[in-house]
Amino acid sequence: MPKGAKGAAASGAARAALLAAPVLALVVVPIFIATTDYRIAGMPPIMWWIVLWILLTPLCLLGVERLRPR
Q: Taking the CA atoms of the chain, what radius of gyration do you get in angstroms? A: 16
| Domain annotation covers residue 62 | yes
| Domain annotation covers residue 3 | no
From the list 8, 20, 6, the residue with the least C-alpha distance to 69 is 8
| Domain annotation covers residue 5 | no
| Domain annotation covers residue 4 | no
How wide is the angle at C-alpha 11 spanned by C-alphas 8 and 17, nearest 5°? 145
pTM: 0.75
| Domain annotation covers residue 15 | yes
Query: Tell me: the pLDDT tens digits for 11-43?
Result: 889 999 999 999 999 999 888 887 778 888 888
d(CA 40, CA 46): 10
Residue 60 structural domain:
11-67
Supply the pLDDT for residue 1: 44
| Domain annotation covers residue 1 | no
d(CA 12, CA 16): 6
